[in-house]
A and B are shown apart, each in its own frame.
Chain A
Amino acid sequence: MKKDPQQILVELHPIFHDVFNDPSLTIKPETTADDIGNWTSLTHMTLVAEVEKHFQCEFSFKEVMNFTNVGDMIQAIQHKLV
């Protein structure tokens, strides 16, 4: 099912809250790992797995490695949901 970027962003919020253990976290497409203290290589793969589970999609290794910000992730999800 197709979703617009804003809707994906809204759905990503609880996943980020859970993975980064911070319910007050607000994310934007420009948000990068540097903006979130706990976004490390360890939490990155947990985040990927949780996002895949929620949106029922699968990212390639190259996609996972090339996520530079939340916007890249949203874009990749959008492509998978078409």
Chain B
Amino acid sequence: MPFNSLIFLIFLAVIAVLFYAVKNASWQKYVLLAASFLFAFYFNYLSGIALAVICVANYGLLKKMFLQEKNRKYLYHIGLGFNIAILLGYKILQDALSDSQIGNLTGFDNSRWIVLGIGFYTLQIIGYYEEVYRRNATFHVTMSDFTLGVTFFSKLPAGPILNLKDNRQLVIKEPVLFSEARFSYALQRILLGLFKKMALADRLMPYVNGIFDKHTYHNGLMIYLGPILFTVQVYLDFSAYIDIAIGSARLFGINLPENFRMPLRAASIVDFWRRWHISLVSWLTNYIFYPVSYRYRKMRKKGLAIAILCTFIVSALWHGIAITFLIWAACHFTYIIVENLIFPKAKTDSGRHSRLAKIAGVFVVWHLVTFGNLFFRSQSLENVGRLFHDFGHLPFLYGQGLDFRTWMINGGGEIESEFNFRLSFLLCLLFLAFEKKINEYAQSEKYNIVYVSLMLILIAVFGMFNTGERFIYLQF
């Protein structure tokens, strides 16, 4: 049930009607729980069963660990081992079973073996173990509240990853009454997500796939554009998913944390990581970077480098067991080391530098992130090698460089394809230029008929109405 499908919108409307009809806090919670399991089972049986088993086992272990003084360490290690084994086992199985890497983004062919959201909610639960073990948080949650915190359908497929404090956001103590402000926020945020996914990200997809997967048709400029377009696509796609997740949750009075803060405007790499996939970065910082950097803090820069390396290795493994993810992580490790440990004084400080320096910073960060994404998106090192080869050996000039004999979603000839490409490019540029303002409208509790109408028109005119293209981050 992709978020950009009609069935999801009907599902959301039916759940909302039921939720507000029951008018009782406990029943409202059970409506959301039932909806979440239905959502998981609808995806496939494996997802529903895995979710039930993982919730029951972890709740029991966490509760015991919280209440018992004696076996805390033992239970902590069992809990961590259990979840890490599930996560790693799943990643290894995925790698072995299929071509589930980022290249195969169309359809749901391998969905039988995808356990919806497992990479996200196992990390979330590992975070709970850390918090309870370190005694940073109490564990006074009921089984149903814990389960809802893990399974809630709008965050289930791809986060945001919650911590124990966030989990309390999902505890419904008082009956949630319908509010116009909440409805307006939900509608406007969901529309933004649909627009970003259908009218922007999905329009870029054929070109990105064409350049990365059918590289023999492309040369110089298009190969240079490929990773840039992918960077924009993956941002729009993932943030669109988050917009719909946050908007849907707000409909039920649940405030999910933000996951992006306009990362393509970052003027330094550290700034980029403060704006990109915030919930994952926050998890990695709290549970990998801080413990390792604390341990080696007396080694100063070397200790920090070890901690950064460990953080990126875990991040790469979480994305998948592949050399391309490790190289992507190595790129970002190098960027951070150079920016912060070798040339810390040259680092762009948003408070101190001129507008021109900031623009230059954004330009450099875009290229660095894009270079890393070349590996992130490519299915193998062989592909990367071929892209480099074609980039270097074929004409770079515009007239010769742009070749639209590419994999096209709509069929049609080269002229249509070229027009579509330019239109998609222009739409994305316009969106990124006015993103801040558009976000303000989308995140307002005040109903804005002009914004809503405009979004509906833009989706209707420019949206890709297919069967609901899969969100890129679903595979993680």
| A interface residues (Cβ-Cβ under 8 A, vs B) | 21, 37-38, 40-42, 45-46, 48-49, 52, 61-62, 64-65
For A52, list chain B residues within 8 Å (CB). 297
Which 7 pairs between the two chains have the least Cβ-Cβ distance?
A: A45-B293, A49-B297, A37-B351, A41-B285, A61-B294, A45-B297, A37-B349
Contact at B340–A42, with CB atoms within 8 Å? yes
Complex Cα gap A61–B294 (Å): 7
Number of interface residues of B (CB under 8 A): 28
Contact at A61–B291, with CB atoms within 8 Å? yes
Contact at A46–B304, with CB atoms within 8 Å? yes
Contact at A65–B136, with CB atoms within 8 Å? yes
List residues of B (265-294) whose CB comes within 8 Å of A's CBs. 270, 274, 285-286, 289-291, 293-294
Contact at A45–B307, with CB atoms within 8 Å? yes
Complex Cα gap A48–B298 (Å): 10
Contact at B350–A41, with CB atoms within 8 Å? no
Q: Which residue of B lies closest to A43 (CB)?
A: B340
Nearest chain B CB to A80's CB is how many angstroms away?
A: 16
For B437, list chain A residues within 8 Å (CB). none
List 6 additional contacts besides A37-B350, A61-B294, A62-B134; criterion CB under 8 Å. Answer: A21-B344, A21-B345, A37-B349, A45-B294, A48-B294, A65-B290
Nearest chain B CB to A62's CB is how many angstroms away?
A: 7
For A45, list chain B residues within 8 Å (CB). 290, 293-294, 297, 303-304, 307
Contact at A38–B307, with CB atoms within 8 Å? no
Contact at B351–A49, with CB atoms within 8 Å? no
Contact at B298–A49, with CB atoms within 8 Å? yes
For B293, list chain A residues within 8 Å (CB). 41, 45
Complex Cα gap A41–B294 (Å): 11
For A46, list chain B residues within 8 Å (CB). 297, 300, 304
Contact at B134–A41, with CB atoms within 8 Å? no
Nearest chain A CB to B80's CB is how many angstroms away?
A: 17
Contact at B304–A40, with CB atoms within 8 Å? no
Complex Cα gap A42–B342 (Å): 13
Contact at A38–B291, with CB atoms within 8 Å? no
Complex Cα gap A52–B303 (Å): 15
Contact at A41–B297, with CB atoms within 8 Å? no
Nearest chain A CB to B343's CB is how many angstroms away?
A: 11
Query: Contacts A61-B294, A65-B136 known; A41 to B289 CB distance under 8 Å?
Result: yes
